[in-house]
Amino acid sequence: MIKVGDALPALTLSEYSEVEDNGCSLGPNPVDVAQSVAGKTIAIFAVPGAFTPTCSAKHVPSYLENHDALKAAGVDEIWCLSVNDAFVMGAWAREQKTSGKVRMIADGDAAFAKATGLTLDLTGKGLGLRSNRYSMLVRDGKVVTLNVEAPGKFEVSDGATMLEQMK
C-alpha cells in the first residue's frame, strides 16, 4: 500500500469536460497524474462509487463545504477519484455541483486503486473491484498525509479532517 513519502503512480486517468478550455475538449480527457500534480498541492479523496449514499450525501459535500478553507490553506486543487467511467463522473459532478471546486476524476479500470494498493473488493455486493475510501494530501507528486478508512466507515477522510491536518 502507498504510504507517506511515496510518489503517486505515473499513469493516466480520465475526466469529463463539459466546456472546452486549457486544451481540454468536450467529453472525456486524459489526466496524466504525474504531470497534473507536478509543483502543486492536491487534496485527493477517493470513494467506492459515484452516486452511492455516503459518497453523495457526506464525502463530496465535505470537500465542497471546506473548499475555500482548503484553498486558503494552500491546496491548489481538490480531486475526487472513483472506479467509474468519465461519463458517470461527469454526471455526478453535475449532480453534486462540483464545477470549479472539485475535479471528479475517473479511475475506470481501477489502475490507480491497484497501483496504490487501495482497492476494495465489493464483488459480493455487485460492485466488483473498487477503490477504498481514503484521503491524501499530495505535494509535488509525493504523499504528505494518508487517511484510509476502515471498511464501512467514514471517519477520517472527510474535508474537515484534511483541513485540520493542514494546520
* Catalytic residue ranges: 55
For the record, the C-alpha cell of 16 comes out as 469529463
**Most distant CA pair in the chain: distance in Å?**
42
Tell me the residue type at 166.
Answer: M
Torsions phi, psi for 57 (to 5 deg): -85, -25
Whole-angstrom distance, CA of residue 57 vs CA of residue 7:
31
Whole-angstrom distance, CA of residue 80 vs CA of residue 87:
14
Question: Which residues touch 119 (CB under 8 Å, ≥6 apart)?
Answer: 110, 113, 129, 130, 131, 132
> Which residue, chain included where needed, has cell 455486493?
125
